[in-house]
Chains A and B, each alone.
Chain A
Amino acid sequence: MKKTQFDPEKNYIETREKIGYVPRTEATQETYDKIGFMSGLEVHQQLLTEKKLFCHCKAGVFHKNEEFDAEIVRHMRPTLSELGEYDGTALMEFKTKKEIVYRINNENACTYEVDDTPPFIINKEALNKALQITMLSKFNLVGEVHITRKQYLDGSIPTGFQRTAILGVEGEIQLRNKKVRLIQLSIEEDSCREISDIGHRRIYKTDRLGMPLIETVTYPDMVNPDEVKEACDYIRFLNRSSNNVRIGMGATRQDVNVSCKGGTRIEIKGVAHTKWIPELTHNECFRQWALLAIQKELKNRFASENEMQNWKTNYAELNFDEFKITTEAIKQAKENNHKLIAVNIPKFKGILSHFTQPGKCFADEISDRLKVIACIEKPNMIHNELPNQPITPVDMEIIQLIMQTDEENDSLIIFWAPEADVKTALETIEERCKMAFFEGVPKETRKSFENGTTIFERVLPGADRMYPDTDSTPIPLDNNELEELRKNIPEDVCERINQFQKWQFPEDTFTYLLSKNLFSIIKQTIDLDFNPKFIAKLFGHFLKNYEGKNQNIKIDYNKIIELLKFIKNNHLECEIAFKMLPKIFTNIDNNFENILSEIKFKKYSQEEILSKIDSLSYDFDKVAKERNTKNKIAWIMEELRDTAIGNINLTELKNNIANRI
């Protein structure tokens, strides 16, 4: 029998083209309209407080993975929802039978963190700070705060739920070209940090657990990837403008929800940097688009609805010794006495190698789930649509023969797993394949990577996982107290942006200035009668650059105001600031005079400096190879620069040189 050779790589490229995937750089609004790009955000922001939200442990004290005083072990059990069914996530987490280990450090965790003590009264400092941000985001403030429990069964919170409460609903933010509506803002306790998740054991540390956090949720109003980033940046800047929040690694995290036309809301969890957002949302939208194409293709392969309903996989255990194995992972599996299982996937030919994301195909969707649900570490499977087949063609033939794989229509997966996990693995494979034609895009949360791709993280939890916290009582929000808090909130971020534009600050300075919340500092410097152009350059370029290169130095922005006052009072020219600024953060005694002598500054009058031009002009003529005016001015400027900085405006000097020569 003559067979047509199937080329998986070719199939991958063809399917990518077929669904109309284009790289983000080539995408336009039209591209996104065509696939129905829709996205919303959940922005999490840690509040800057001394203590945690519901206990009296210090907030913001972190420790290394190995620095712990004790460990405890818990298992999370799903509780029944009102329909008597387990929530989808709940069922999955229960299936995985994870042993959750919590590492406790006495310095930053008490018996509350491990759910052995009920909550104390909510941290008032945190509540007030969160309320100010709620006002800034133009939310309707609630009359009474009700602490609610939101179930999480992944173990990230030892209680199995997060204590969270709404402070406001229906807010809005003003982006460059549109308003984005906000659904709600809640105050909540932060979760544990994961140390590892291998096999059936997941380890967390409890240092971050219980720290106060706010979550701002937007409506899915964003219609292209750049808009999502803009909205996210805006919310971050808004939070920071309050001065009530923590900054630094992990202090702000966002979940990004994306869907395409006909797709479903997929939650990309814990995106660490907003700059990742455009690529992630672009790829996720196209992943859904690809899955819908797969669904359509598969549905066409079924003759009837009945056939689709009855579709199932078949499997057989393989004997390691009967095949030539070159893959390290399979060798390992054999040594560990794991099982080697082949699964025939009817009608899936060309699907496993179907494009889903850049560098990923449908088979990855299955492999990801095997890792998360069946707890089988990657690499956990191979299949017959791999470009570089780790199994010899002869062996593959034999296996396909055993499995009665119809080469024209079916595809084949081979996975390896501990015996106890085989059942879940088989269920997981079949379930994911069925989802491909029944649901198209399964509801899930996904984990993001810097390269813009995502992997399966969990089944998306249902809405029915909220219930009141019986350990706490509602907190009324008094009008007078709220008005008191309102007195100390800053102007809107969009007003700040307008002001920057009025001052004619270059656009490329905005992100840095807003993310460091430097507006009020800058306003003070401009009030000192400095030229906005100089201030923009000093902060937006020079300081940003300095800070980027000196991340270990703690920057006290108020010192810059002091410096500028000093410059003003001593009638120095403002350029001296560029020379002095790097010294002020490292100079302990805070004496600007000393810094001046350190940078070897000497006071000269303008006349003294200008008087040197003539002799320098003479010198230039002697040494210069190319005697033209432009070179001459530049050379004299260079000779005079060190003496001039601080004593005379450099532009003025340049003009003077040009006039004199």
Chain B
Amino acid sequence: MEGKDLQGYKGKAREILQKYNVRVWGEVVIQSTRGEFKGRVLPRAENTDDIHIVLKVNTGYNIGIDINTITDIKEIGYNVANYAIPEKQFPCTEGLPHVKLLGTGGTIASRLDYRTGAVIPAFSPGELYGAVPELADICNLDTEKIFAVFSENMGPEQYIKLAEAIGNEIEKGIDGIVIGHGTDTLHHTGAALTFMCQNLPVPVVLVGSQRSSDRPSSDAALNLMHAMTAAGRGNIAEVMICMFGPTSDEYGLLHKGTRVRKMHSSYRSTFRTIGDTPLAMVTRKGVEPIKKIFNTRRNDKNVIIKPYFSDKVTMVYYYTGMKPDVIDGLVAAGYKGIIFVGTGLGHVNKLIYPAIRRAQEAGVHMYMTLQTIWGYVQMYVYDTGRDMMAMGIIPAGNMLPEVAYIKLGWALGQTDDHEEVKRLMLTPINDEITEREPYNGYLVYQGGVPEVEEFIKKVHK
């Protein structure tokens, strides 16, 4: 029997199927010590054991049958599921802005195959139109899959490809760009593209979803509509992340690619601007700026693409009891830049000082950021801070750790010169370091406090 007929089955389960001459997609009747079971054999998921066969029974449910209980199997029919995805022509409407959707591999919209349970991604304009027809009221859409990687596998190579693709689209005269992206590292990409695509004339909007689009309660469709609105109709020409404001289906927020962070593993409203307010709110009606100053849309094509990145940069999240060999090891491995994520105002313990000194001597570029996420590095307050600065660690202001990592990689991709790197690092391109933290830039409310309870009873968070 051919391998594809036993899709996913291995070991003993595979042997049993072979023994009774039964295929995946076969309609079968199984006799077992637990009684009779009828259904269609489904492919077995990877990383599952080899002692069960999966059946879809005719009520639509799946069940597993323990092969050790099986006394007989008969195949009484066979019907392969096929996965044709329906496409509808995405309508072209005169007067609507032209938006380009660049795919990176994350699922933007999808369709379910009930027979297999597979989630089939929808990506072409036609497929997207089938899934989210409202998009046709917002813009004229074109799509291109740049590459296909999961969010956690995004890296320098992909940042560079994306930056170049953005440059090309702007050259072709697009009105706005949307990038579909997994959410885990959305903010890394947001920072990278901010540094690589400067002086943007049009919006570049990164969007993802926290609940996959095969679920009726998914945030994907609304996020996509918000992103298209921001890209096609919005006046903010920056690299932005567009995700849910509250967990409710109400409005999206546009965050600067350099000031945003994923703050919850699974919440819809997981992306938050840190140390500042978000750029704007967005609904299907349009973009409502929150910040008064931003880069506005222009008619020219004068974007500056700087697609540089060095992979010799690393990040050290300090913990109490850290030993010098951690730093020594990184230096020995050839890393040229280290972003420290220090405690409090930006500290590490004295035990690793010798290693820091050795790193300095080896010419490693070192910057300090904060585990506290919010606030500024301040290394003058305590002696330890001054000691560290003396050893070449440069405070990175209120730059977020991940952003500092991306920026150092980008800077070292251009030069090795310490002064030039320092200039690049500390000269903000788009608020990765801000001069001031507004009072409403730090808001982490605590539940249980009466006024907070009163607030969240009325206002959706």
A residues apposed to B, CB below 8 Å: 68-84, 90, 106, 111, 114-118, 139-146, 148-153, 158-161, 164-166, 169-170, 183-184, 186, 217, 463-468, 470, 473-474, 476-477, 479
Q: Is the CB of A75 within 8 A of B249?
A: yes
- Neighbour of B60 across the interface among A72, A78, A217, A465, CB < 8 A: A465
Q: Tell me how far the C-beta of B313 lies from the nearest C-beta in chain A, rounded to whole angstroms.
A: 33
Quick check: is B34 within 8 A (CB to CB) of the other chain?
yes
Q: Is the CB of A184 within 8 A of B59?
A: yes
Q: Is the CB of A464 within 8 A of B114?
A: yes
Quick check: is B317 within 8 A (CB to CB) of the other chain?
no
Given contact pairs A146-B61, A467-B112, A468-B117, A79 touches B85 in the complex (Cβ within 8 A): no
- Tell me which of A152, A184, A467 has the highest count of chain B C-beta atoms within 10 A of its own C-beta: A467
Q: Tell me how far the C-beta of A20 lies from the nearest C-beta in chain B, rounded to whole angstroms.
A: 34
A466: nearest residue on chain B (CB-CB)? B60
- Tell me which of B117, B119, B456 has the highest count of chain A C-beta atoms within 10 A of its own C-beta: B117
- Neighbour of B249 across the interface among A74, A81, A183, A465, CB < 8 A: A74
Quick check: is B349 within 8 A (CB to CB) of the other chain?
no
Q: Tell me how far the C-beta of B134 lies from the nearest C-beta in chain A, rounded to whole angstroms.
A: 10
Q: Is the CB of A144 within 8 A of B66?
A: yes
Q: Is the CB of B215 within 8 A of A159?
A: yes
A-B contact pairs, 22 of them (CB 8 A): A69-B457, A72-B246, A72-B247, A72-B248, A77-B221, A80-B130, A82-B113, A142-B65, A143-B34, A144-B63, A146-B63, A153-B216, A160-B215, A160-B218, A161-B215, A164-B61, A169-B37, A184-B57, A464-B60, A466-B60, A466-B62, A468-B62
- Neighbour of B119 across the interface among A70, A152, A470, CB < 8 A: A470
* Chain B positions 42 through 61: 1 when the CB is less than 8 Å from some CB of chain A, otherwise 0: 00000011011010010111
B residues in contact with A143, CB < 8 Å: 32, 34, 52, 63-67, 69
- Tell me which of B35, B51, B85, B264 has the highest count of chain A C-beta atoms within 10 A of its own C-beta: B35
- Neighbour of B115 across the interface among A68, A82, A148, A476, CB < 8 A: A82
Quick check: is B237 within 8 A (CB to CB) of the other chain?
no
Q: Is the CB of B217 within 8 A of A144?
A: no
Q: Is the CB of B266 within 8 A of A111?
A: yes
Quick check: is B19 within 8 A (CB to CB) of the other chain?
no
Q: Is the CB of A144 within 8 A of B52?
A: yes
Once bound together, how far apart are the Cα atoms of A476 and B48, in whole Å? 11
Q: Is the CB of B57 within 8 A of A146?
A: no
Once bound together, how far apart are the Cα atoms of A466 and B55, in whole Å? 13
B residues apposed to A, CB below 8 Å: 32, 34-37, 48-49, 51-52, 54, 57, 59-67, 69, 81, 84-86, 110-115, 117, 119, 130-131, 210-218, 221-222, 246-250, 264, 266-268, 447, 453, 456-457, 460-461
B132: nearest residue on chain A (CB-CB)? A77
- Neighbour of B460 across the interface among A71, A139, A149, CB < 8 A: A71
Q: Is the CB of A476 within 8 A of B86?
A: no
Q: Is the CB of A169 within 8 A of B66?
A: no
Q: Tell me how far the C-beta of B34 lies from the nearest C-beta in chain A, rounded to whole angstroms.
A: 5
Once bound together, how far apart are the Cα atoms of A90 and B35, in whole Å? 36
Once bound together, how far apart are the Cα atoms of A106 and B36, in whole Å? 45
A146: nearest residue on chain B (CB-CB)? B62
A residues in contact with B48, CB < 8 Å: 473-474
Q: Is the CB of A111 within 8 A of B267?
A: yes
The main secondary structure of chain B at its interface with chain A is: loop
B residues in contact with A82, CB < 8 Å: 81, 111-115
B residues in contact with A115, CB < 8 Å: 211, 215, 217
Q: Is the CB of B63 within 8 A of A169?
A: yes
Once bound together, how far apart are the Cα atoms of A115 and B117, in whole Å? 20
Q: Apart from A79-B216, A116-B264, A160-B217, list 8 A-B contacts with CB within 8 A.
A: A73-B460, A82-B114, A90-B216, A141-B34, A144-B63, A148-B61, A170-B35, A463-B60
Q: Is the CB of B457 within 8 A of A151?
A: no
Q: Is the CB of A114 within 8 A of B247?
A: yes
Q: Tell me how far the C-beta of B115 lies from the nearest C-beta in chain A, rounded to whole angstroms.
A: 6
Q: Is the CB of B61 within 8 A of A166?
A: yes
Once bound together, how far apart are the Cα atoms of A149 and B217, in whole Å? 13
Given contact pairs A116-B267, A140-B34, A476-B66, A70 touches B457 in the complex (Cβ within 8 A): yes
Q: Is the CB of A73 within 8 A of B61?
A: no
Q: Tell me how far the C-beta of A288 lies from the nearest C-beta in chain B, rounded to whole angstroms.
A: 23
Q: Is the CB of A116 within 8 A of B268?
A: yes
B residues in contact with A80, CB < 8 Å: 86, 111-112, 130-131
- Neighbour of A116 across the interface among B35, B213, B247, CB < 8 A: B247
Once bound together, how far apart are the Cα atoms of A170 and B34, in whole Å? 11
Q: Is the CB of A116 within 8 A of B215?
A: no
Q: Is the CB of A467 within 8 A of B216?
A: no
A residues in contact with B461, CB < 8 Å: 70
Q: Is the CB of A166 within 8 A of B85?
A: no
Q: Is the CB of A73 within 8 A of B63?
A: no
Q: Is the CB of B456 within 8 A of A69?
A: yes
Given contact pairs A79-B214, A115-B211, A466-B61, A73 touches B114 in the complex (Cβ within 8 A): no
A residues in contact with B216, CB < 8 Å: 76-79, 90, 151-153, 159-161
Q: Tell me how far the C-beta of B361 lies from the nearest C-beta in chain A, rounded to whole angstroms.
A: 48
A residues in contact with B447, CB < 8 Å: 106
Q: Is the CB of B35 within 8 A of A79?
A: no
Q: Is the CB of B249 within 8 A of A467?
A: no
Once bound together, how far apart are the Cα atoms of A69 and B457, in whole Å? 5
- Neighbour of B117 across the interface among A159, A160, A183, A467, CB < 8 A: A467
Q: Tell me how far the C-beta of B344 lies from the nearest C-beta in chain A, rounded to whole angstroms.
A: 30
Q: Tell me how far the C-beta of B69 lies from the nearest C-beta in chain A, rounded to whole angstroms.
A: 6
- Neighbour of A148 across the interface among B62, B66, B218, CB < 8 A: B62
- Tell me which of A74, A114, A158 has the highest count of chain B C-beta atoms within 10 A of its own C-beta: A74
Q: Is the CB of B59 within 8 A of A463?
A: yes
B85: nearest residue on chain A (CB-CB)? A84
Q: Is the CB of A69 within 8 A of B62?
A: no
- Neighbour of A144 across the interface among B57, B65, B113, B267, CB < 8 A: B65
